[in-house]
């Protein structure tokens, strides 16, 4: 079927004033203003009320953390004390709770215009060893694209790390399960719906041996690598005192400086380190909301891009955000980067990070753009609410006036959100069931 999304109010693409033609899950034509599609269409959607964006791409998240949002014991803390407070609660994670947490986070993301989600899941308490299988199943049911990471922690408090013994795993078990989920779920090539990345958590939760062996395993199977790095000054101090090097040196020593790696946060790099990352082709996922909540610092996005580092955008964990709303994070990215730099940071920069930049983080060039040949992943927003009244530039208005919900969302040519609501999801039931599960994570 050929669908013409006709005459949008605005579109984040050149020469698409007349709309977009979708066929077999791909964008096949951009229609100029006043023109008609080159070939007949089977259906037309009138988009005159809609601002059309490429589907947003979330490049960093921790979905299980939806269960501990605004936790009374953890609010108003920086990263290390925040983590130490919550590890004990997170050790209570069960398969059912993880299922609901993932479903809720994916639904939130979808409603905010996100079409491809990444989750950095590194928590495998006893009984929850099949956490990755749960997430893949939830993504397939909902219809989003998803990169699921087989994350890991093998360095506990007794060995000089930060987490308690109850939430770390044996290195051999981690590597064996990594190989299992890659073999079972990882799709390659254009249009992939489910992919696996390997993602040791942080320098203070993972051994050098696991970092190095994970890199070797990922490259053997053609998977991407992800980790947190340079998020806080505490982390840098830990690396210098315990590992006798700075975080980027640690990446180099463990074989992690390569174009198949993207990093979360990347705040506390010096000029030399930014240059090294650029020369090796790494990417960084900017997490503005979390960085502000935990007072972690300012990501040097402009300097990173200037050095050749791709910059993407992520909501980060729903206990450090505390939501899974990617269009809201686009606004936060604009604001914090204007404060970091100046007013020449624009809404288009923020959109680029949330689309093409995040796609590059995930190693994809078939998503994150509205162009012929790309996947038909689209987010359509209206400007009907009071907050948008008087707005002159529709694209800028989404960011400056604070859009927070898409009216329609398409993934692979299929509408997954219509009239602001996800298709086939009982929101009230999900809220009730997830809320009941979350209550078990509070004393």
Determine how β-strand 421-422 pairs with β-strand 414-418: antiparallel
Per cent of the chain over pLDDT 90 is 99
337-362 burial string, b = 16+ CB within 10 Å, else e? Answer: beebeeeebebebbbbbbbbbbbbbb
pLDDT of residue 263: 98
> Domain spans of the chain?
2-54+369-422, 56-361
Pick the CATH number of 2-54+369-422 from 2.60.40.420, 3.10.150.10, 2.60.40.10, 2.30.40.10: 2.30.40.10
Distance CA 408, CA 113 (A): 8
Distance CA 278, CA 299 (A): 15
pLDDT of residue 78: 95
Structure tokens at 217: 């395993």
DSSP assignments along 224-241, one per residue: EEEEEES--HHHHHHIII
pLDDT of residue 48: 98
Is the pLDDT at 434 greater than 90? The verdict is yes
pLDDT of residue 148: 98
Strand partners, 380: 52, 408
CA distances from 99 to 94, 102, 105, 166, 245 (A): 9, 5, 10, 20, 39
Average pLDDT over residues 97-110: 98
Distance CA 195, CA 176 (A): 17
DSSP assignments along 372-424, one per residue: TTSB--EEEEE--SGGGTT-S-HHHHHHHTT----SEEEETTEEEEETTEETT
3-state DSSP assignment of residue 332:
helix
Q: Nearest-CA neighbor of 119 among 132, 128, 104? A: 132
Average pLDDT over residues 243-255: 97
**CA max distance for the chain:** 68
Is the pLDDT at 443 greater than 90? The verdict is no
3-state DSSP assignment of residue 349:
helix
Average pLDDT over residues 394-421: 98
3-state DSSP assignment of residue 31:
strand
pLDDT tens-digit series, residues 141-191: 999 999 999 999 999 999 999 999 999 999 999 999 999 999 999 999 999
Q: Examine domains 2-54+369-422 and 56-361 and report if their fold is the same.
A: no
Residue 137 in contact with residue 381, Cβ under 8 Å? no
What CATH code is assigned to 56-361? Answer: 3.20.20.140
Average pLDDT over residues 23-41: 97
Average pLDDT over residues 350-376: 98
pLDDT tens-digit series, residues 72-96: 999 999 999 999 999 999 999 999 9
User: Average pLDDT of the chain?
Assistant: 97
Distance CA 156, CA 125 (A): 13
pLDDT bucket at 319, cuts 50 / 70 / 90: confident
Average pLDDT over residues 241-250: 96
């Amino acid at each position: 079927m050929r669908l013409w999304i006709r005459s949008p109010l605005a579109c984040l693409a050149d020469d698409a004033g007349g709309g977009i033609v979708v066929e077999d899950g791909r964008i096949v034509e951009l229609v100029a203003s006043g023109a008609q599609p080159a070939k007949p269409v089977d259906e037309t959607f009138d988009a005159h009320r809609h601002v059309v964006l490429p589907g947003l791409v979330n490049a960093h998240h921790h979905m299980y953390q939806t269960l501990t949002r605004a936790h009374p014991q953890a609010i108003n803390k920086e990263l290390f004390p925040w983590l130490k407070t919550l590890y004990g609660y997170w050790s209570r994670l069960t398969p059912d709770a993880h299922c609901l947490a993932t479903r809720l986070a994916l639904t939130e993301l979808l409603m905010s215009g996100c079409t491809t989600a990444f989750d950095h899941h590194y928590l495998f308490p006893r009984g929850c060893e099949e956490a990755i299988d749960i997430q893949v199943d939830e993504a397939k049911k909902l219809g989003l694209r998803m990169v699921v990471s087989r994350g890991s922690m093998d360095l506990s408090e007794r060995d000089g790390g930060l987490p308690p013994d109850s939430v770390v795993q044996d290195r051999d078990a981690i590597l064996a399960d990594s190989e299992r989920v890659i073999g079972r779920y990882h799709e390659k090539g254009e249009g992939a719906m489910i992919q696996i990345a390997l993602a040791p958590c942080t320098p203070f939760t993972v051994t050098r041996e696991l970092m190095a062996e994970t890199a070797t395993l990922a490259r053997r199977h053609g998977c991407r690598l992800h980790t947190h790095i340079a998020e806080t000054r505490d982390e840098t101090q830990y690396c210098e005192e315990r590992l006798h090097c700075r975080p980027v040196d640690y990446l180099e020593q463990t074989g992690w400086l390569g174009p198949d790696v993207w990093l979360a946060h990347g705040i506390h790099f010096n000029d030399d380190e930014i240059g090294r990352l650029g020369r090796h082709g790494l990417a960084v996922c900017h997490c503005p909301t979390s960085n502000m909540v935990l007072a972690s610092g300012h990501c040097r996005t402009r300097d990173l891009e200037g050095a050749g580092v791709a910059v993407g955008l992520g909501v980060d964990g729903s206990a450090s955000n505390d939501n899974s709303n990617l269009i809201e994070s686009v606004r936060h990215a604009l604001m914090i980067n204007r404060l970091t730099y100046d007013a020449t940071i624009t809404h288009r920069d923020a959109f680029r990070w949330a689309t093409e930049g995040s796609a590059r983080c995930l190693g994809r060039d078939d998503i994150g753009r509205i162009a012929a040949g790309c996947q038909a992943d689209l987010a359509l927003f209206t400007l009907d609410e009071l907050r948008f009244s008087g707005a002159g530039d529709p694209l800028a208005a989404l960011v400056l006036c604070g859009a927070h919900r898409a009216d329609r969302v398409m993934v692979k040519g299929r509408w997954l959100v219509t009239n602001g609501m996800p298709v086939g999801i009982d929101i009230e039931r999900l809220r009730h069931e997830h809320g009941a599960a979350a209550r078990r994570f509070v004393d």
